Structure 1
């Protein structure tokens, strides 16, 4: 009689994945404070998105108040409301007599990032933002 467990019955990690983010304004070389970030999750590719809550970035561009993910989460969506931040930034530059941008500064009024997660792992997803583009990556 074998004492080896059946391969299909191996223990799975039931610790939920965790998510964090921060925003850097690459055109200013500074963090992006006071940007609203919403977190949604789903438990599979065909499942409905459930909004879990949100938070705002702090003075260092970090978003510390994101809610925990449910244990069955397989996909996460971060929604960044970037328009107000970019508009405030453009208005501040105009007051400082900086070279004028040729639009409102909010070409991307919002940025949505969707990614897959694995239980038990942490996912840090920074947003690198400027008035005319953005980039994201999986950080550490």
Structure 2
């Protein structure tokens, strides 16, 4: 079994999945970032497929960027309002070429957390 990466976003303030959040995955090497995938969360707060499928998986350093600003913007709030959280980067390493890595984002307007899930 080859490794792969999945993610999802949960809105901890509302107690539900966060749909419609754009996510970008970058391969990181030193100060260099190379985008390798993009996805948008579905109604379950997940991507429709692994953001990094097994046929493209390589051990190394990666960064997920969650573009949460539009999701967190309150209805009627002007687009030029400065948000506390907008783009949320999570940098992590994957070393096991045969493992399923899962990196979720637990999100609220003023804080977030993550962990290695299953």
TM-score tier, shorter chain, comes to 0.7 to 0.9
Normalized per residue, the structure richer in helix is: 1
Q: How does 1:37-116 map to 2 (within 5 A)?
A: 37-42=23-28, 46=30, 48-65=32-49, 66-68=51-53, 70-87=56-73, 90-91=74-75, 106-116=83-93
Larger Rg: 1
- Give aligned pairs, total: 112
Alignment TM-score, normalising by the size of structure 2 = 0.82
Which consecutive unaligned segments of at least 5 residues does structure 1 have?
A: 1-12, 95-103
Following TM superposition, the consecutive aligned residue runs of length 4 or more in structure 1 with deviations greater than 6 angstroms are none
Mapped to 1, the partners of 2:5 and 2:38 lie a distance apart of 12
Q: What SS class does the counterpart of residue 42 from structure 2 fall into? A: coil
Consecutive unaligned residues in structure 2, runs of 5 or more? none
